[in-house]
Amino acid sequence: MDKKPVVVVNGLVRKDALAYLREHVEVRQWIEKTVMPREELKEWLKEADGLWSVRPLDVDGDLVKDAPNLKVIAQAAVGYDNVKIDELTEAGIPYGNTPTVLNETVAELAFTLICTASRRILESMEFVTSGRWEQRPSNIKGKDLSRRTLGIIGMGAIGVSISRRARAFGMTVLYHNRHPRKDDALYMTTYKELDELLALSDVVCVMAPLTDETYHMCDESFFKKMKNDALFVNVGRGPIVDTDALVNALNSGEIDYAALDVTDPEPLPGDHPLLQTSKALVTPHIGSYTDRTRYDMTILTADNIIAGVHKKPLPACVNEEINYK
């Protein structure tokens, strides 16, 4: 009987996805609640055919340099800012992520933040739960979404899904990408240069990936270009935003409110100045956090690994140029 390929899992993952993976490979898993020491992981990888990467983990050439049998690395996430793709490509290791399966779920969360923050739902609920129904002050009066403008920064598949919801609410949708899309007419969106988008948008939603170019893109200058009564939303990555600049913009009245599912730092301490502004709605990075979507993400991760250890094409490969044929 042929020996099954060995796959290392450096942390805890869904049991149903792990059971599915075990049907195809031998799994060696770090089951402690503490983060697996990097040097110990490197020892495990010396005999491994695949790695299911569990954050927090920096995946780079150093991690895999002494892993001669390693054929694939996959992670249950779309973003891969913790992965040096060029170094894995140089090492000949395909890297799998989980695009598409979470698009609608993240879009739902982004638009929920937009609606909740615009209508100041949490503050209004606080008046009910504290027995002050009739004392609601005028400064938490909500804003309509219809006949207002949404500006999306990073118009990928999730951005398109957000724009569809916004148009259903009667919003005009602008967007900014590195390059204009060719299907603007299909999605009824309009490309704008960044400065013009910021000046025109009542709601600015960041959906861009974290790169060297987008790191701290939302800085002091960025917020000064927004409308004073604008809502700022980030469902992309925390470090895209200079958090100190955001706090100053909220406190000074340069912008009206912020709704964030990602922050920098993350997790955000309970006593952080951002939470003291009384102008921020923050959720703990739950964009894809539904049972169905997390199941789909982990099953796709398992499928990426199963394919890779058998040198078959990964269903979702970031460095497609070295994907197996």
Reduced to 3 states (helix: H, G, I; strand: E, B; else coil), residue 170 is: coil
Alpha carbon distances (Å) from 56 to 10, 20, 71, 229, 293: 10, 23, 21, 37, 20
Coil, helix or strand at residue 19: helix
Q: How many CB atoms lie within 10 A of CB 191?
A: 15
* Residue (of 247, 318, 321, 324) closest to 81 by Cα position: 318
Query: Which of the residues are catalytic?
Result: 237, 266, 285
Closest of 272, 262, 267 to residue 240, by C-alpha: 262
CA dihedral 308, 105, 250, 275 (to 10 degrees): -80
Residue with tokens 């609640």: 33
CA distance 72 to 206: 31
Q: Distance between CA 153 and CA 241 in Å, rounded?
A: 12
Torsion of Cα atoms, 210 then 213 then 215 then 216, to 10°: -140
